[in-house]
Structure 1
Amino acid sequence: MDMATATGPMAAERALVGPGTAAVAAALLASPAHALDWSFTPTLSDSLTFTDNVELAPPGEEDWELINVISPGFNVTGDSARTTVNASYRLRALTHLRESDRDRLNHVFSGSLNSELIGENLFIDASARYSQEVLSLFGPIGLDDTSDTGNVEDVGTVSVSPYLVNRFGSFAESTLRYRHSRVYRDFSEDNYSNSASWNLDSGSRFGRLSWGLDAQAQRVTGVDRDPATFRSASASVGYELTRKLRVTASGGYEDNDYESDRADLSGEFWTVGATYAPNRRTSVSATYGERYISETKSFSITHRRRSAQLSASYSESISSSELSVFEGFEEGDGFVICLPDDPFCAPGQIIRRTIIPVFEPVNEFSYTRRGTGTLTIFGTRNTLTFNAFQVRRDFEVSEEETTQTGGSVSWTWKLGPVTSFNSTASYSRNESELSEREDDLYSFTAGFNRSIGQDINASLRYRHVRRDSNEPAGEYRENAITLTVSASF
């Protein structure tokens, strides 16, 4: 049987660190000072999914399918006094009963390395990620990779970042960092970023007063456009008015160059802010300022109790699909590998989290405003999580505006020592100003997980997906049921 690979024109090895970097890493890990205590756990899962609309086609064009997914993989960790390594990988071989042309291989990988190279001065961080991500908010969007939508592409990222730390007693501490990042994609050219930053932060000598100096430069090469550059220098000061309240202020100058219809991309900026922490469990921060783009605001709150945890945030930035990858996914974005301690999915399963990152190859930057909120309530046998979000992108050249608004409710119920029930209901409204497109995406999943012995798990899950749209061709419905058995060795 021929099986297409999801890597397409992008060879899998392109998403790995180059031979020179790999040789350095191998020498580093082999040295006595970095001898690691390794833990290697092979995994294997097999799932069978029946769906009544495998391509998420419009009403009247549905096609049912029976899909078997065999997924070998591994989890590996390595720890020493100076180095930490973490990696997870899953190969997912999808075979289809009715149409073998749909058969494919998907690779999902995430890994990181953090190491102290010389004394307490020279360090290195490295990370890599490989997964299948959504191309367009307005194409069909599946809850996992069993949906054959044609609206995904392989996205691989690699980042290597050495940095030098110097401590000047109790006076100050400086950090000089370089970062090289690359993004590999199926349907467009590779993108890369080189950035350097330096900061000097005050030490304990200054007591309640804090100060800092910061300089940054970044060059981003994107698809079919001139490189974009971002440079800035700033100074900041803070003062602890009380043990619970700290105020801050910063100011500086930024010099940017990227494709935009704005008359001015550079200029002075300033921010003022405050952080209030009435106790160890609660923290509230807010800032207000001005940049060349407009007034800028940010906000965050965290509150933790034994029975509940609350977090919320709001931020504004200039971004693009490439910058989003370089800066790292926000927690909750994209496809993820379910781990054994995740109460909302079966170990080894690949699922989509709440917010959908967009990798549509739009060759421009956007002014992005993002707000998220999460409330988790813990009971003796129940866990309930509420999520809400809004992401608005105003593109700099095309004058396109897209808005993604929604939320979800997840519930897990521990029925016994080895059995649990979990369900998630989610809603997302996706809007495009330029095309006047409006989509409402609903999903519901429910299922049982059961441990069979110490290292074997079984799950049975049902899902329903529905999208309503003012564009009839964009509507679809799907019902699917999945039986999964997974094991670790």
Structure 2
Amino acid sequence: MAMVMGMGTVMGQVEQGWVAARMNNSTRVSLCKISRLASIAMAVILAVPYSLNAGEWKSKGSITFGEIYTDNVELDDDNKESKFISVVRPTIELEGKGRRAEMSLVGAFEFNNVGGGADSFNPRVRGDGAIELLEDFFFVEGDIYSNQTLIDPFAASGSTQLNRSDNVTTTYDYSVSPYLVHRFARFAELQVRYTYDDQINKGDELSDSVQRMSVVTLNSGPDFGPLSWTLRADHQKTEFDGDGFMNQDGDNERSTASIKVGYELSRKWQVNSTVGQEWNNFQTFDDDDTDGTFWDVGAIWSPNGRTTFDVGYGKHFFGDTPRFKFTHTTRRTSLTVNYSRSVTDTRSERRAASLFPTEDPFGDLIDPITGEPLFLTDNLTFRDQGVFVNELFDASLTLKGKRSDLTFFVRESKQLREDIDSDAKFTSTGIRFNRKLSSKISVTSRLSLDERENRTSSESEITRFYLSLDRQLGPRTTVTLGYSFSDRDADGFGRDYKENRLNLGLTIDF
């Protein structure tokens, strides 16, 4: 009964949110763009299944009713306020595959009554599709995406969007990518691709943007045996609606032309090299030349089917570009280590989050949606738009037992701006533990330390602990009881806070 009353309260809050939105011009603009995105997404969802009539379909859905208690909804130790939050979260999983088309869609749509200016509707969606319009010649791919994004990574924020920090917005993104393919017998394959990508941020805290990209590639065919080569030319242009939080012009334009050559020495060894020219047009802080030659050399060693080393070294206009990737998997152990240094921009980093993993580290299929809270993703970046060099290190070790698995992880992103004199470092380390106590009861826990540094403003450390117990009540019903604790210690801009949170959820599958 309490959950039903909570659902009514949530829907009332949603209605109030829409009324308030009508009173704000910038919100109206965002809602118009979001409506356009929804229309395009619906057209794609309806069009692709038309080509999947004779295909294979899989579908799954659920709805979660939740009640959350927090002792600090404002995330501010000087202004603590406790609150009960009601949540209703329907979810959907859809997958279809036919002879000439395929699509997949995973979505969680969370309604809540947090109030205080917080969004009462939080969609998290990932969908993609592909269709072959002319056999072996003309194809179209597309995807849709929405996720909750931190506005300012150096200000106070919770582990989820269910608080009143006013530091979370929703980012919507869709892309359409038609391309042509032509095969020159067994000699080579030509592909000409155009991609239109539109990113929309709710409200006016982050600027909307459009990215257009054209790519032409000519790849070697089977006639060349162990030798492979690729000729590539691409042009990418990104335009922002405004100058953003720092009145910074984030528009950028980049073009490259390159040739890549690889040779398979044996089943275990491959070598490769790339050389090319790049032309970049974006604002730089110190007026450095952003054009010039780039190159990369590397090797791949796969001593067996469980282990792979992929290493390389190169140079671009911004400096050295070393890279390293190592994977090793056994029946009980999975180790992955990645390191890279590349140039990107803030819109791309916000888009890079992995929302719904469908495989565990061992390649086994897992349910991408559970009754657990929708935690914020860790793809942090600057508040304003701009180009930066991203030095990224990411590693994880998973140990798997008969009924348990234990994961250690670390992720560090050093971001050096090219357009302004600024840099940042985001580091996350932690441990995850899952154990199945019986056929119907399981425990999930996580402990993490998030460190955020900015040369010009602040440093902060956030310790988070989460523990939950899942109990299957029936074939389609699960109850989840969880506890979380957050402790933020910040210097400079920002605020310290401690928060305890309890959540109770009932999930019904259908």
Please report the TM-score for the alignment, with normalisation by the length of structure 1: 0.90
Work out whether 1:248 is the aligned partner of 2:269: no
Give the Cα separation in 2 of the matches to 1:476 and 1:342.
35
Cα distance, 1:343 vs. partner?
8.1
Give the Cα separation in 1 of the matches to 2:175 and 2:386.
22
- Compared CA separation, residues 12 and 83, structure 1 to 2 (3 A): farther
Give the Cα separation in 2 of the matches to 1:456 and 1:148.
31
1:474 is paired with a residue whose SS is coil
Please point out which of 122, 126, 130 is paired with 1:110: 126
Opposite residue 79 of structure 2, the aligned amino acid is E
Q: Deviations over 1:263-282 (max 9, x none)?
A: 20100111111111101111
Identity of aligned residues (%): 25
Aligned match of 2:88: 70
Aligned match of 1:148: 164
**8 Å Cα contact 2:161-2:376 kept in structure 1:** no
Work out whether 1:358 is the aligned partner of 2:381: yes
Aligned match of 2:509: 488
- What number of residue pairs does the alignment pair up? 477
Opposite residue 110 of structure 1, the aligned amino acid is R
Aligned match of 1:329: 352
Cα distance, 1:182 vs. partner?
0.5
**8 Å Cα contact 1:28-1:34 kept in structure 2:** no
Alignment of 1:362-401 (within 5 A): 362-401=384-423
**8 Å Cα contact 1:282-1:302 kept in structure 2:** yes
Cα distance, 1:74 vs. partner?
2.4
Alignment of 1:155-174 (within 5 A): 155-174=171-190
Aligned match of 2:104: 86
Aligned match of 1:190: 208
Aligned match of 1:178: 194
Cα distance, 1:345 vs. partner?
8.1
- Compared CA separation, residues 65 and 226, structure 1 to 2 (3 A): closer
Structure 2 gap ranges (5+): 1-11, 22-26, 244-248
Opposite residue 292 of structure 2, the aligned amino acid is G
Cα distance, 1:145 vs. partner?
2.2
Cα distance, 1:143 vs. partner?
1.1
Give the Cα separation in 1 of the matches to 2:348 and 2:238.
8
Give the Cα separation in 1 of the matches to 2:117 and 2:472.
35
Aligned match of 1:258: 282
Work out whether 1:214 is the aligned partner of 2:238: no
Cα distance, 1:359 vs. partner?
6.0
Cα distance, 1:338 vs. partner?
9.8
2:141 is paired with a residue whose SS is strand
- Compared CA separation, residues 255 and 472, structure 1 to 2 (3 A): closer
Cα distance, 1:66 vs. partner?
0.8
Q: Deviations over 1:381-427 (max 9, x none)?
A: 00111111110111123211100112121000010111101100011
1:408 is paired with a residue whose SS is strand
**8 Å Cα contact 2:349-2:379 kept in structure 1:** no
2:446 is paired with a residue whose SS is strand
* Runs of 4+ more than 6 Å apart: 337-341
Aligned match of 2:344: 319
Give the Cα separation in 2 of the matches to 1:241 and 1:37.
40
CA RMSD of aligned residues (A): 2.6
Work out whether 1:52 is the aligned partner of 2:71: yes
Aligned match of 2:50: 30
1:434 is paired with a residue whose SS is coil
Alignment of 1:409-448 (within 5 A): 409-435=431-457, 437-448=458-469
**8 Å Cα contact 1:87-1:112 kept in structure 2:** yes
Aligned match of 1:61: 79
Give the Cα separation in 2 of the matches to 1:372 and 1:179.
28
- Compared CA separation, residues 472 and 47, structure 1 to 2 (3 A): same
2:323 is paired with a residue whose SS is strand
Give the Cα separation in 1 of the matches to 2:368 and 2:125.
20
Give the Cα separation in 1 of the matches to 2:192 and 2:63.
42
Opposite residue 87 of structure 2, the aligned amino acid is V
Cα distance, 1:114 vs. partner?
1.9
Q: Deviations over 1:46-102 (max 9, x none)?
A: 111111111211x23211111111122322222222222222333322125xx6776
**8 Å Cα contact 2:250-2:282 kept in structure 1:** yes
Give the Cα separation in 2 of the matches to 1:12 and 1:447.
39
Give the Cα separation in 1 of the matches to 2:433 and 2:179.
42
Please point out which of 134, 145, 155 is paired with 1:139: 155
Q: Deviations over 1:186-240 (max 9, x none)?
A: 2244200000111112122222222111111101002323731100000111122
- Please identify, of 450-459 and 18-27, the stretch whose mean Cα deviation from structure 2 is larger: 18-27
Q: Deviations over 1:250-293 (max 9, x none)?
A: 10100110111332010011111111110111111111111111
1:324 is paired with a residue whose SS is helix
**8 Å Cα contact 1:411-1:424 kept in structure 2:** yes
Work out whether 1:452 is the aligned partner of 2:473: yes
Aligned match of 1:229: 253
